[in-house]
Amino acid sequence: MLKLPAIKIALLLALSTSLAGCAFRHPARESAFAVKGRILVDNREVASDCSLDLYRLREDHEIREVDIARDFQASVVIAPGVHKYYMSVHCSGTSTYKTKTYELGSTRYWRDPIDLGEIHLTRAKSN
């Protein structure tokens, strides 16, 4: 039978306990953030379909599309880890609003949603 000194047993127990705790904080789990705002088209309230599109800056392509209302607060699930993203907001037949870049993936913007404020869009001109 293998005999280990008490100090080695204590170290093994401490190490395995700390590793088990890491499973709940593993960086591979999904992240999320919240965003809110209000959309106006030509300084009037919107009645049409609107969406918020999320883009990861590095790849510069759409990651997620979320349907939103005139007054919105949405939760968006994103990839694990902290990455740079930007969003665009548009409604049927309107211009597009592009946000600044945000570093998303921590709990900061889950607890305190990104506030886009009033988003002013204009109707697209028909030919």
pLDDT of residue 47: 66
Domains in the chain, number? 1
Domain membership of residue 3 (yes or no) is no
Domain membership of residue 7 (yes or no) is no
Whole-structure pTM value: 0.73
Task: Please give the Cα distance from 30 to 115 (Å, whole number).
Answer: 22
Domain membership of residue 106 (yes or no) is yes
Q: Is 102 helix (H, G, I), strand (E, B) or coil?
A: strand
Domain membership of residue 69 (yes or no) is yes
User: What CATH number should be reported for the domain holding residue 68?
Assistant: 2.60.40.10
pLDDT of residue 99: 98
pLDDT of residue 97: 97
Task: Give pLDDT tens digits along the chain (127 positions).
Answer: 455 566 666 655 555 555 444 434 445 578 999 999 999 998 887 767 899 999 999 999 899 999 999 999 999 999 999 999 999 999 999 999 999 999 999 889 989 999 999 999 998 776 5
Over its C-alpha atoms, the chain yields an Rg (Å, rounded) of: 23
Domain membership of residue 2 (yes or no) is no
Domain membership of residue 19 (yes or no) is no
Domain membership of residue 76 (yes or no) is yes
pLDDT of residue 20: 43
Domain membership of residue 26 (yes or no) is no
Residues of the domain holding 46: 31-121
The DSSP code for 29 is S
**Strand pairing class (114-121; 31-41):** parallel
Contact of 101 with 114, CB cutoff 8 Å: no
